[in-house]
Chain A
Amino acid sequence: MSILERSISAEAPLLSVNGLTRFYGSRVGCQNVAFDLYPGEVMGIVGESGSGKSTLLSCLAGHLETDAGQVVYNGQDVLTLPEPARRRLMRTDWAFVHQHARDGLRMNVSAGGNVGERLMAGGARHYGNIRKTAEDWLERVEIDPGRIDDRPSAFSGGMQQRLQIARGLVTGPKLVLMDEPTGGLDVSVQARLLDLLRGLVRRMGLSVVIVTHDIGVVRLLADRLMVMRHGQVVEHGLTDRVLDDPQHAYTQLLVNSVLPT
């Protein structure tokens, strides 16, 4: 084993999820979900609508209350953190990318204001610096900095999504939760976004949990893959292994694989 590999396996997970469970009345939202996520790792969660993948993500983000389980980050169970500490975590170390950009953006605030919000929430009080950082981030997500004072409503869907990403990443988070970030975008726009995300993941060493029903997206973005059905994880492993050699009946159905020999 090389030095690099040894250093990697010695590293502690960034996020440890154990027994995460959420019911909607008597119906299962997600049940007994467990996984570790390491620094710099991208994990995809796939499954059809109602499989529990979005419930899981909402529980991780604290948008939904959980019935049981732990979400351990930095040695602390995020689910039991006092609300102020949890919300502070969500706007500094974590970021959430919504499927619909308008859920993650302030549509009546300029692009610069949107990107600057997390900085100002964190106590930044120098207008010039905030603006410079916002310009820098617009450039990094390939939006013309000249449009810093435009409102998101004047942007295309792909630009809105990139703006949402800039807004989340401006504080240099370690963990990003994404809910169908490429959903509803044109194929060519999706490709651009995927490329951008890969670059950001690599350069910032981000850990990502990405929920999607698009197998193509996880193949290109995720190191690891979790397949969910009826609220349960049915298969879990290296992305290409799960997709190319699916073991579970449901995964086989999902990837609709023609088996090569």
Chain B
Amino acid sequence: MSDYNFAYLDEPTKKMIRRAILKGLAVPGYQVPFASREMPMPYGWGTGGVQVTAACLTPEDTLKVIDQGADDTTNAVSIRSFFAKVAGVATTTRTGEASVIQTRHRIPETPLRSDQILVYQVPIPEPLRFLEPRETETRRMHALEEYGLMHIKLYEDIARHGAIATAYAYPALVNGRHVFDPSPIPRFDNPRLESPAIQLFGAGREQRIYALPPFTRVQSLDFDDHPFEASKADGACALCGATHTYLDEIVADDQGTRRFQCSDTDYCMERRA
């Protein structure tokens, strides 16, 4: 092993983060402030998720890291090798083999289990931010359950586009109490926020941690006459033929031919194996 403390962060820091995580689990959807540390990577590269992962890892864990569903992007590869180096944990690209999965903007297609932890990287944890810039005011709104503002955003969507156009970071009500931002996952993933796994959300720059305990009720906000829809591109994966997965649209050649492909690379490969 290296000269780093296990999983890079010192033990008091991990303890502090674990306390924030426990508080987050105790009050589902509530944003717990924590003293985010400088990490050896820039903000926006998952510093929040990395700190949460570091606080959760044990030497026996197997780690998977995905970025928009893929295991092989720069961000995913570097975070995976970071923990392989500073924690010496096993890594994998297989969803089923992982005990801790750090993700940027996706939930794996393979259903998660109760012995797994999913760690989200969160850029902006405050769902009310775009309408109310004052943190003092948004905190009060959460405290008093004043969530009329969230529906204004959806109202504006319908007024302007004829339908709720919010395609990712789709706000939802957690456990009937706190409205939260599920990080920029596609709204296709929202129904799977109700999961047997523990889900933890870390925002490094914004210094917030929040959580969904297993099987927490998560209701995506909507209108009676414009109900929530977990939409996806209308097509099939060009590689595995799946029509039930979240698809990326990619330009395949110099002629501009477009095709769809599973966003979850591991799931796609397993289907083809």
Contacts and interface: CB of A to CB of B under 8 A. Distances in A.
Q: Do chains A and B touch in the complex (CB under 8 A)?
A: yes
Interface stretch (B23-31, B77-85, B149-157, B259-267): B149-157
Given A106-B131, A112-B159, A117 B148 contact: yes
B156 A118 contact: no
A112 B144 contact: no
Contact of A127 (B146, B149, B225): B225
Nearest to B152: A113
Nearest to B158: A127
Contacts of A84: 144-145
Contacts of A106: 131, 152
A3 B211 CA distance: 64
B223 A127 contact: yes
B3 interface: no
Interface in B119-151: 131, 140, 144-149, 151
A203 B130 CA distance: 37
Interface residues of A, number: 24
A102 interface: no
A127 B146 CA distance: 18
Contacts of B225: 126-128
B155 A83 contact: no
A130 B155 contact: yes
A118 B146 CA distance: 10
Closest 9 A-B residue pairs measured CB to CB?
A121-B148, A120-B151, A127-B223, A120-B148, A126-B224, A84-B144, A113-B152, A125-B224, A149-B159
Interface of A: 83-84, 87, 91, 106, 108-110, 112-113, 116-118, 120-122, 125-128, 130-131, 148-149
Interface of B: 131, 140, 144-149, 151-152, 155-156, 158-160, 222-226
13 contacts: A87-B144, A109-B152, A109-B156, A112-B155, A116-B155, A121-B147, A121-B148, A122-B148, A125-B223, A126-B223, A127-B224, A131-B159, A149-B160
Given A125-B222, A125-B224, 11 more contacts: A87-B144, A87-B146, A106-B131, A116-B152, A117-B148, A118-B148, A120-B152, A121-B147, A127-B223, A127-B225, A149-B159
